[in-house]
Amino acid sequence: MKKWFFLFVLLMLLAHEVYQLKSEGDYEIIDVNQMQWAPEESQVLEIARDQVYQGNLLLVNKDYPVHQEGVKSDVVNLIQHKELVEGYGLLDDRIRLSQGVAQKFLQMVQAAEKDNVRHFLITSGYRDKEEQSQLYQDKGADFALPAGHSEHNLGLALDIGSTLSGMNQAPEGKWLQKNAWKYGFVLRFPKDNKDITGIEYEPWHFRYVGLPHSKIMQKKNFTLEEYLSYIKEKKNIGETIAGMEYEVSYYSVSSKKTVNVQANRYEISGDNMGGVIVTALSAENARIGQDKMKKKMEM
């Protein structure tokens, strides 16, 4: 009994330790609250087919539609959550977004404020299929995607504006292109990448993918399409943030798959194309973290 109690306390302290780590600015390395605990160093996970259609790394475009499982369950009307709307404006009072993504956006806006960049505006967030269908009818295929084929149908994407000028010129746009990755966001449709994304340059459209993925995409100048192809080809890649090593692994899922996760924390996302990506703290970091916690408890 004492052994299990000690393990429980150790895991809780380790979670706190990882949560507190910061790097290259005032931002979280990864949202540990969204990651799951592996009760032991190595755990076999059983991944069901529907996991392919859930998570922060889903590819959504004209070829890969949104599945209902992929729509974020925490979508809220932002105007009804005043604590989420501080330091930036809303184009209108109907704008909705994943609450978790809104919290990350707020954290990003607060960091920009420290750099005297403070004129942010959310012009669009989550759209249901009816809203997307109407937009498609109004704008046409050159400026909108059909219902169910837009990232806005997920709750993970938002259009960000500035009250000063267009985002390709505004300080807010320039700041985001340099810093958004630190908070898990990426510019989804960069300049000169229409042949890859199918969409013209949109300096206002940002997508939440989470860390460490946003850092890798920024470093390698990848679109989401390129990043997912890269993971699929490599199968395993790593990234280090604040001395903590993350392992990103790709698995093809036909009907049901079991995978071995050697980590104390992990996160799973589908790619919407038949595979899943497991993001985990490396086993070595898990051991180092546990050793640190043991020493603290012995003091």
Alpha-carbon gap, residue 151 to 59, rounded angstroms: 8
- Is residue 202 part of the annotated active site? The answer reads yes
Which residue out of 69, 202, 225, 226 is catalytically annotated? 202
Could you tell me the two tokens for 244?
């903590």
- DSSP codes of every residue in 88-148: SEESSTT-EEEHHHHHHHHHHHHHHHHTT---EEEEE-B--HHHHHHHHHHH-TTT---TT
Reduced to 3 states, what is the DSSP secondary structure of residue 159? strand
Q: Which residues of 126-147 are buried (b: 16+ CB within 10 A; e: fewer)?
A: bbeeebbeebbeeeeeeebbeb
Alpha-carbon gap, residue 35 to 54, rounded angstroms: 14
∠ CA 237-204-192, rounded to 5°: 65
Residue 257 is which amino acid? K
Question: Which residues have a catalytic role annotated?
Answer: 202
